[in-house]
């Protein structure tokens, strides 16, 4: 192979790498959604509830809908969620929050709500994770409270104060 051809190939490889970086840069992906109203009796007796995020603050890339983030490009994504659960009772002895993606599940706060709850019988669960995702992979937030007599624990929501929210963005 001639030196001229080798130089041409190397130049094309550099240009292709530059275009790939530009393509990734053009995929600005970020979202913030929250629960605007209480979801009553969502969990408490072992039911795993998918948290409701019915209001979007922003959704760069259009990747968030119906409580679910769907990746449009492969890469590393950072996710963060806080879910406040109210109306906890002393019999509810176990609770946790999970970020569930197509590839794996990330468990966040895990505790006994009876031991962790505040004076108002509420507790705020949190999960943060960096997740590897392929195009079309999904991510949701689930919450579970166990050992209550019934599903009587509520997922908090409000139109102006974000008690329960889910956010994320593309890292690389």
Residue pLDDT, tens place only, 141-170: 999 999 888 899 999 999 999 999 999 999
User: Whats the size of the chain, residue-wise?
Assistant: 172
- Residue-range domains of the chain with CATH: 29-170 (2.60.120.40)
Place of tokens 């509830």: 49
Q: 39-43 and 153-155: which strand pairing?
A: antiparallel
Q: pTM score, two decimals?
A: 0.84
Structure tokens at 3: 């030196």
3-state class of 94 per DSSP? strand
Residue pair 172/28 in contact (Cβ under 8 Å)? The answer is: no
Alpha helices in 27-138 (DSSP H): 113-116
pLDDT (0 to 100) of residue 8: 66
Distance CA 97, CA 111 (A): 10
HSE-up of residue 158 (Cα within 13 Å, Cβ side)? 10
Q: What is the pLDDT of residues 27-70, one digit of tens each?
A: 689 999 999 999 999 999 999 999 999 999 999 999 999 999 99
pLDDT (0 to 100) of residue 112: 80
CB atoms within 10 A of CB 136: 11
């Amino acid at each position: 192979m001639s030196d001229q051809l080798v130089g041409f190939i190397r130049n094309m490889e550099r240009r292709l790498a530059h275009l790939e970086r530009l393509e990734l840069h053009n995929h600005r992906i970020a979202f913030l959604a929250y629960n605007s109203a209480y979801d009553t009796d969502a969990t408490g007796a072992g039911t795993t509830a998918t948290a409701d995020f019915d209001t979007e603050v922003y959704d760069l890339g259009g990747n968030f809908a119906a409580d679910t983030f769907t990746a449009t490009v492969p890469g590393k994504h950072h996710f963060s969620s806080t879910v406040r659960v109210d109306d906890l009772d002393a019999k509810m002895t176990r609770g946790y929050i999970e970020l569930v993606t197509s590839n794996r599940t990330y468990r966040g706060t895990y505790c006994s709500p009876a031991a962790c709850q505040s004076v108002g019988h509420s507790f705020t669960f949190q999960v943060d994770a960096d997740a590897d995702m392929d195009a079309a992979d999904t991510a949701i937030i689930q919450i579970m409270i166990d050992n209550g007599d019934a599903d009587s624990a509520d997922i908090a929501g409000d139109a102006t104060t974000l008690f329960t929210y889910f956010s994320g963005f593309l890292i690389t």
